Structure 1
Amino acid sequence: MAEPQDNHIDDYIEAVSKALALPVEEALRPAVRANLEVSLRLGRLVDEFALPDETEPAPIFTA
C-alpha cells in the first residue's frame, strides 16, 4: 500500500466529500485528516503482514 503524499490526502478528502455530497467544514478538516492518516497507517500494517501460503480463514468467528 503506497503512502499518499500530504497534498494527496487533502485532495482525497475533497474528492470523497464531493462524491458523497458530504461537506466537511474547514474547522473539522484537521481531525478528518488525522483520522485518515491513522487509518492508512493501520491499513498498511495489515497489508504488509506476511501470511504463509497454507493459511486459511477461520471457519467460525466469535467475539
Structure 2
Amino acid sequence: MPDDATLLALLDAAALANGIPVDPAWRPEVLANFRAVANAARAFLPFPLEDESEPAPVFRA
C-alpha cells in the first residue's frame, strides 16, 4: 500500500498532467479515494496474467 506522501504526489502529478485544478479543500477526500482504489487493487495485483491476455470486447450477463 502506498503511503500518503506517495498518493499525494500521484494526485498532484495526475492533476497537472490532465489540467484538472484540485481545490485544496478536496485533497483529503481525493486522497481517501486514492487509498480506497489502492486497497481494491491489492486484491488483483497478485493474479497472474499472460502477456497475450486482453480484455473482453463485450461483457454479457
- Fold conserved between structures, TM > 0.5: yes
Amino acid at match of 2:41: G
Instruction: Point out where structure 1 has 5 or more consecutive residues left out of the alignment.
Output: 52-56
Off by >6 Å, runs of 4+ in structure 1: none
3-state DSSP class of the match of 1:46? coil
Amino acid at match of 1:39: V
Task: Give the equivalent residue in structure 2 for 1:16.
Answer: 14
Q: How does 1:1-63 map to 2 (within 5 A)?
A: 3-49=1-47, 61-63=59-61
Q: Percent identity?
A: 35
2-structure distance, mates of 1:12, 1:18: 10
**Greater CA radius of gyration, 1 or 2?**
1
1-structure distance, mates of 2:48, 2:19: 37
